[in-house]
Amino acid sequence: MMKLSAVCRTLSLTTALAIAPILQFSPNGQPSAIVSAQANRPLAIFVDGGDDCCVSQMPELEAKLDGINAEIWHTSYDRFQGSSGTEIQVRAADAPDTLFLIEGRSTLNSIPANRPIFLIGDRQGASSILKLLPLIERNIQLVALVDTPTDTSAWNASTAGSTTNVGVFLNYFQVDNPNTQNAGSQGDRCDATTRCYEFNPNTGNEADLGQWIQSDIVAKVDIAINKQLQPPSPVAVRSIPAAWTLIPGQLKHLSVGSDGDVWGVNNEDFIFRWNGNGWNNINGRLKQIAVGNAQNIWGVNAQDEVFRWDGNDWVVVPGNLKSVSVGSDGTVWGVNSEDFIFRWNGNSWDGIDGRLMQLSVGNAQGILGVNSENQVFQWNGEGWNLVSDGFKQVSFAADGTLLSLDPGDRLHRWNGSAWVPVEGNFMQVSAGNAQEIWAVNALGEIYRKN
């Protein structure tokens, strides 16, 4: 099957076309005066995906933008401002496009609201744009995405409450079944509020198909520039909840011990430990980590191999599990890929009746878990008691702090008799004690409860 990247590679470069200068930042990391120099002039930002496709090869589109006196920026998916001197530092814990998201959010939100903006990206550039959209608190006249990686998590991030008002949303992605080039107003990777176009490159030659993509974007420019948009919501869904502090970095999973020791892993399974001010990279790779305290740290890698931290390195523990949980007293439980439950006896794993997809161990007397039907159970020493239902994850601390997340990512706290909503929407939460509660949202942003 032909990829859109192969289609776009055939587009010819126009050497006479002058490439606009890279966006410049001042030494303090803030956008320079270039941002507000011309309040009403359209701004088109091409985000290169670092592959063989496509935004650097669209002379017809750039000519169209020149014709409406648009200012044109070229940038990359990993650095919104290119090679200029920003003070923002990237940690090893951060995703490759962390700087793009930080700088893009700051820049676009500072541009006058009456200045039209077009975002055009390919491959990883398209993915980065998708992740940026929920962070933008202004209108975007046109978004055009070409050949977005199909495995990107950005689809969910962009549709999970974006406050951005996108006038025209163009999404050119490959489909496996024959379709017309313009499939209409709704594509299968877009939510109900955005216009999406799917594109099937199964007919014609590559040059013709590549030209069609470019010509289609050109045709939508006038529609976008003339489209009347409502002001975006004044409350940003992705704004920091008042009860939480945003912590630098990006992680997919973290764990907090009873002593406040915090460890986490990112999307590449690299391991990090919080030092009070930033993240220290720890050798090894794990997909999931569990912290009872600084002396009890376990984890599982992508092959479901189990490891224990000895203070200097990771020691292999016999067995295969998809996740583990460790209590403050060193109690360790885990579940395997079939949701079977196991308890570590100091030398091997003892099987426990029941099936759970996730466990949380506060100590030997406090063990809770969630099954595949979102039911919450507590271990009574001999069996499982049903506690509640309607939750996808629980976190239980040795001091009795109990938190849960429902399927809508809403956070709840047990008050002794009922679940009470807590401000914040998260993908994962961890409670070390009542004062040490951390969480990760759908964008990988890290939060600590105030």
When pLDDT is averaged across residues 383-387 and rounded to a whole number, the result is 97
Which of 8-17, 259-268, 309-318 has the weakest average pLDDT?
A: 8-17
Q: Which residue has the higher pLDDT, 284 or 1?
A: 284
Reported confidence tier of residue 55, pLDDT bands at 50, 70, 90 = low
What pLDDT score does 213 carry?
77
Q: What is the pLDDT of residues 235-252, one digit of tens each?
A: 334 456 788 998 988 899
Helix (H) or strand (E) holding 292: strand 288-293
DSSP letters, 397-441, are: -TTS-EEEE-TT-EEEEE-SSSEEEEEEE-SEEEEEETTEEEEE-
| pLDDT above 70: residue 37 | no
Residue 184 or 123, more confident: 123
Per-residue pLDDT tens over the stretch 324-366: 999 999 999 999 999 999 999 999 999 999 999 999 999 999 9
pLDDT on residue 444: 84
pLDDT in tens, 255-279: 999 999 999 998 888 999 999 988 8
Q: How does the average pLDDT of the chain come out, rounded?
A: 77
- Give the per-residue pLDDT at 228: 67
- Quick one: DSSP state of residue 79? B
pLDDT for position 230? 61
Distance CA 204, CA 154 (A): 30
What whole-number percentage of the chain has pLDDT above 70?
71
Q: Is the pLDDT of residue 310 over 70?
A: yes
pTM of the model: 0.55
pLDDT at 13: 25
pLDDT at 289 over 60: yes
Rounded mean pLDDT of 20-44?
A: 47
Q: Is the model's pLDDT at 183 over the cut of 80? A: no
pLDDT band at 178 (very low <50, low <70, confident <90, very high): very low
Rounded mean pLDDT of 74-98? 55
Which runs of E-coded beta strand occur in 296-357? 296-300, 305-309, 314-320, 323-326, 332-335, 340-344, 349-355
Q: Are 86 and 110 in contact (CB under 8 A)?
A: no
pLDDT tens digits along 145-166? 887 764 443 443 343 334 457 8
For the cut 50, the answer to whether the pLDDT of residue 30 exceeds it is no
Q: For residue 156, what is the enclosing H or E element?
A: helix 154-159
Domains annotated for the chain, with CATH where assigned, are 4-226 (3.40.50.1820), 244-449 (2.130.10.10)
Cα 447 to its chain centre, rounded Å, is 14
Sheet containing 436-440: which strands, arranged edge to edge? 244-250, 445-449, 436-440, 428-433
Q: What pLDDT does 328 receive?
A: 96
Task: Note the pLDDT of residue 83.
Answer: 35
- Give the pLDDT confidence score for residue 232 in this predicted structure: 54
